[in-house]
Structure 1
Amino acid sequence: VAINYRRDKEAAEETQRAILDAGGLATIHQGSNDIPAENVALVKDVLSVHSGIDIAILNGGIASKGRSVADTEPEELWQLVATHALGPHQLCRALIPSMRTRGRGDIVFISSVATSGMSANGAPYNMGKAAMEALALTLAKEERPNNIRVNIVAPGLVETDMGVRLARAITGRREMDDLRSMDEAAPFGRVCQPEDIANAVLWFCSPAASYITGQRIQVDGGGSSLRVGQ
């Protein structure tokens, strides 16, 4: 397993230790996916220590600042679109040749339920994730002849560091350290956990999904797709 991080080396090392403790092999690689040259360098670095790339999980992301279109600075727009769409485009361009050589591959993009709702005051994020999904669906058509499957997992609110920051912004409760106070109002009585997203990704990359490509699974407990009472 090759783990890419931009700034949080400590979290990358924690993930690496968990994989090593489970008996796996894991390496960490620094790089920012919104910089095209770093995407190319990342793939070269990974291939220098691994025999090839079979699975790619594109999970990089940052939140927008919650401003209206009229109040959004161009720098924020470009950064979010670059992080969520332009960077993944360049990363796929760099890693697909390895998958083609190996005769198979799985690419899973981590998007968001935001592309279904397109909420106000989030245009940079909405645009970036929508462009990501357009990339994924296009890539699924292009790479199917090469036995490369491309799919999308779209989470709702997840209890990660980013999810806690988002919840603080939504509720105004700056002291919030976890999302336990939101469990009661959440689908199934709990907030979505990282493992819920990982399980969807794992399924997409498993033999059980070998005939599935170009699809999008929304992992939000039905919170954004089911009406009250259903």
Structure 2
Amino acid sequence: MRRLENKVAVVTGGGGGIGAATAALFVREGARVVVVGRTEDKLRKTVEAIGSENVSHVVADVSKVEDTERYVGEAVSRHGGIDVLVSNAGYEGPYKAMTEHSVEEFDRVMSTNVRGTWLSIKYAFPAMVKRGGGSVVITSSMAGLVGSPTHSAYTSSKHALIGMARALAHDGAPHNIRVNAVCPGVIDNEMMASVHTRLAPGAEAAFQGAISARVPLKRYGTNEEIARFNLFLASDESSYCTGGVYVADGGVTAGFM
């Protein structure tokens, strides 16, 4: 039997990267999946690439209450409930010294990463309670475990998500709702490609090589590797796991030689 047979999953940030890979894997494992994001074209590409009647999309800004209520409501109306929420939507924000970092930029990062995650869980919880339980997987980051220079807003937001997972694990436990956080390291996807361009324009390949050399496994991770982690936490295989923080960073946070 497939690991998510007859389950309904919502994946935010589903327009590419980890979200799209997670949605594709969940469908292969038997789930009906609703992907959520701000950009219609990206979501359509995800749905088309998966090529299944068991995946659909909703365009929404996860930081807005009305949009969150709408995409949660759409998932329930289309499929009868929600069993799994992967709260993956995120915004990286600028790389700037704090003195040059605007309040507006800080607020935008926190609005998407922290408020958006909290809203997704708040409005999905009642649907999960009606199903007798479920699993919430929050995408944090290795930046939620260590300090990151010139990246104060993003680092702060990802630390906050770990605290959120731990706190909401207690709220969910009486209802058999598990809440866990995954902390990816450097992943070979569009988000990291944009970082390369911003920090090393014209020397992106060399920059990636230098970063890879500092990873104990000497490479970037893949979207699919994180998706498999998400699958474990979404499935009954992790039935005794809640409030956990799971790191997939190639050994970076274990320390450098």
Q: TM-score, normalised by structure 2?
A: 0.81
Distance, in Å, in 2 between the alignment partners of 1:183 and 1:35 is 35
Kept in 1, the 8 Å contact 2:186–2:249? The answer is yes
Asked if residue 104 in structure 1 is aligned to residue 133 in structure 2, the reply is: yes
Aligned residues: 224
| Equivalent residue, structure 1, for 2:43 | 12
- Which structure 2 segments of 5+ residues have no match? 1-32
Quote how far apart the aligned CAs of 1:6 are: 0.7
Q: Deviations over 1:145-167 (max 9, x none)?
A: 10001001001111111111112
> Counterparts in 2 of 1:183-202, with a 5 A limit?
185=213, 186-202=215-231
- State percent identity of aligned pairs: 26
TM norm structure 1: 0.89
Alignment map for 1:134-149 (pairs within 5 Å): 134-149=163-178
Task: Give the residue type in structure 1 aligned to 2:153.
Answer: P
Compared CA separation, residues 26 and 178, structure 1 to 2 (3 A):
farther
Q: Secondary structure at the match of 1:117?
A: coil
49, 71, 82: which one aligns with 2:100 = 71
Deviation, 1:134, is 1.6
Helix, strand or coil at the partner of 2:254: coil
Q: Structure 1: where are the runs of 5+ without partners?
A: none
Instruction: Output aligned runs, 1:20-35, within 5 Å.
Output: 20-21=51-52, 25-35=54-64
SS across alignment from 2:51: helix
Match of 2:147 in 1: 118
Alpha-carbon deviations, 1:73-105, whole Å to 9, x = none? 111111111111112111211111000000010
Distance, in Å, in 1 between the alignment partners of 2:56 and 2:249 is 31
| AA matched with 1:15 | T
Alpha-carbon spacing, 1:46–1:135, altered in 2? closer, same or farther (3 Å):
same
Please tell me whether residue 3 in structure 1 is matched to residue 35 in structure 2.
yes
CA distance in 2, matches of 1:40, 1:160: 29
RMSD of aligned C-alpha atoms? 2.1
